Amino acid sequence: MNINSKTVKFIKKHNNATIPSRAHSSDSGYDITASDMSVVFNEKTGYISYIAYDTGISIEPPGNMYFLLYPRSSVRKYDLSLCNSVGVIDTSYRGNVVACFTPTFPTKSTDDIIIYNIGDRIAQLIPQLLLDITFEETSDINKTERDDGGFGSSGS
């Protein structure tokens, strides 16, 4: 058994839900699949606001762990983008794991775009250790070579 091994309990809430898994033991993310899908429309425009993919599972991370939900690299094959760029599944959250995607261009029908289907791997869960930190207010912080250069200041 790996010294970094942890057990994460989960409940299958849909018959077609699958266990999060990774293709290789060296992969950081655990793929999750769609077990249900709902399309939400903007009432004013009639365009799709987002598509919610329910994985059909609820998870119970150990108290010192949480998960980041990222799109899989294969999202480039679809006309979708994860709504909030990165999702956070806190250690205390017990609801279904849901990934919401927005169409990459305005559309009123899923027939006009390439979307995930039920059973497809839609996103990945990346485990993170929860750190208990304290922020300390100060009047000065150490200077660095980069200092306050941001937003592309370190190169093109």
Distance CA 41, CA 49 (A): 5
Per-residue pLDDT at 3 = 61
Locate tokens 């939900």: which residue?
A: 69
Domains within the chain, CATH numbers bracketed: 9-129 (2.70.40.10)
Per-residue pLDDT at 57 = 98
Q: Is residue 146 pLDDT above 90, yes or no? A: no
Q: What percent of the chain has pLDDT over 90?
A: 80
pLDDT tens digit string along 33-79?
A: 999 999 999 999 999 999 999 999 999 999 899 999 999 988 889 89
**Bigger pLDDT: 153 vs 63:** 63
Per-residue pLDDT at 81 = 92
Closest C-alpha to 116, from 67, 51, 63:
51
Q: Which residues contact 131 (CB under 8 A, 6 or more apart)?
A: none
HSE toward the beta carbon, residue 18, CA cutoff 13 A: 17
Distance CA 86, CA 36 (A): 20
- How high is the mean pLDDT of the chain? 92
- Mean pLDDT of the 81-90 span: 93
Per-residue pLDDT at 155 = 61
pTM: 0.85
Q: Is residue 1 pLDDT above 60, yes or no? A: no
pLDDT tens digit string along 26-46?
A: 999 999 999 999 999 999 999
Burial category of 67 from C-beta neighbours within 10 Å (exposed 0-12, middle 13-18, buried 19 and up): buried
Helix or strand run (H / E) with residue 122: strand 121-129
DSSP calls for 55-111? EEEEEE--TTEEEEEEE-GGGGGTTEEETTSSEEE-TT--SEEEEEEEESS--S-GG
Q: Is 21 helix (H, G, I), strand (E, B) or coil?
A: strand
Structural contact between residues 81 and 101, judged by C-beta atoms closer than 8 angstroms: yes
Burial category of 61 from C-beta neighbours within 10 Å (exposed 0-12, middle 13-18, buried 19 and up): buried
- Mean pLDDT of the 101-130 span: 94
Per-residue pLDDT at 156 = 55
